[in-house]
Amino acid sequence: MRRVSVLLMSGLILFVAALSTVTAGAQSRGAAPAAAAAIKNPVATSATSVTAGAAAYKKYCSFCHGATAKGNGPLAPKDSMPPDLTDAKWEHGSTDGDIFTLISNGGGATSKMIAFKTKMPEQDIWHIVNFLRSLGPKAAVR
C-alpha cells in the first residue's frame, strides 16, 4: 500500500510540474515569438478586405480600443489603457504577422487583451490587420 501511495504522490508531483510549465507559457501569450514577424499576410489588402476588417473591428475590438481605434473604448477594463492603434508606436511588433499573432493569442500576462483565435475566424483577423494598416501613419511593414 505504501508503494502505491508513493507512486501516486510522484505522479501528482509530475503532473503539477507539467501543468505549471504549460501555465507559464500561457502567461506569455502576447509575447510575439520571433517567428511571428515572418508570418506573411495571406489576405491581399483591398477595399473589400479593409471594409471586412472594419466590420470585424467594430464587432470584436471597438469596445476596448474605441470606434476610431484611439484606445478610448467605453468598455475597456479598468486601468487597462488600450493602445491607440492609429499612431506610429507598436508595443508588440509591427509586422502583419506580429499584429495577427497578438490578436490571435492576446496581450500576455500583463495585459487585459484576450486571445481571439477561438472567438473569430482567422480570415477576419487578417482583415482587421489590413483595416488597422489603413488607419494610421504607420509604414506598411509586411
pLDDT in single tens digits along all 142 residues of the chain: 555 444 444 444 444 344 333 333 333 444 456 899 999 999 999 999 999 999 999 999 999 999 999 999 999 999 899 999 998 888 888 899 999 999 999 998 888 999 999 999 999 999 999 999 999 765 544 5
Backbone φ, ψ for residue 46 (5° rounding): -155, 165
pTM for this entry:
0.73
Pairs from 91-94 (Cβ < 8 Å, separation ≥ 24): 92/30, 92/31, 92/32, 93/32, 93/36, 93/37, 94/138, 94/141
- Cβ atoms of 58 and 128 closer than 8 Å: no
Which residues, including other chains, have CB under 8 Å from residue 79's CB and lie 6 or more apart?
none
User: For the chain, what are the domain ranges?
Assistant: 1-28, 31-135
CA 83, CA 86: separation in Å to the nearest integer?
Answer: 9
Quick one: fold of 31-135?
Cytochrome Bc1 Complex; Chain D, domain 2 (1.10.760)
- Is 5 strand, coil or helix? helix
